[in-house]
Amino acid sequence: MTTAPSTTTAPGRKRSEASRQAILDATYDLLKTAGFHQMSIEGVAERAGVGKATIYRWWSSKGVLAVEAFMEAVAPSIAFRETGSAQTDIERQMKILAKAYRGRTGELLKEMIGFSQCDPEMREALFVGYLQPRREAAKAALQRGIDQGALIPNLDLEALVDALYGPLVYRMLTGYHPIDDKFIDKIAKVVFEGIARREV
């Protein structure tokens, strides 16, 4: 699924793909090793072999750069895998997400969500670049279930996505309860038992 770009290129100056990738790779490396708070534009520039001006020409802030680097690195591993069952697809993807959220990916996402509360541009980039595509993919899977007759019609897909994925984010942010497969099974059972289409 394509997403809206989180960066703006200055008029008349095209980005070098090699430089762009080097910057994103360097950013994600620093995110993983040092975290968002300790990551700096200076450190990224040095590791990527570019000037700070190049980074600021293509990304408006450290936060926006970090979000794009995070999104590009993480998104492929948590993508939906479409099969014949919408419920199976969603449960599988929830477990993939839960595994990621239990590890370094969850630590980074939690940190970036926290910092983005004071940075409107970063918050917008996080929603448009990372959260919204995940929501749209989940809604598309649920719609497939409706179209296939496995789920009841006229469902509020936005509310369903919140019901399925909200508990994962809550547990990731608070850190007080595990995000394990048993928990995912319980959430999926509660939600899908309420929306499954039954033969009359």
pLDDT digits (tens, 9 = 90+) for 9-19: 444 455 688 99
Which pTM value belongs to this model? 0.84
Find where tokens 């968002």 sit. Answer: 36
CA distances from 96 to 80, 178, 181 (A): 9, 14, 9
pLDDT digits (tens, 9 = 90+) for 118-149: 999 999 999 998 899 999 999 999 999 999 99
Residue 95 burial (CB count, 10 A): 18
**Domains of the chain, earliest start first:** 17-58 (1.10.10.60), 78-195 (1.10.357.10)
Q: Does the pLDDT value for residue 194 go beyond 50?
A: yes
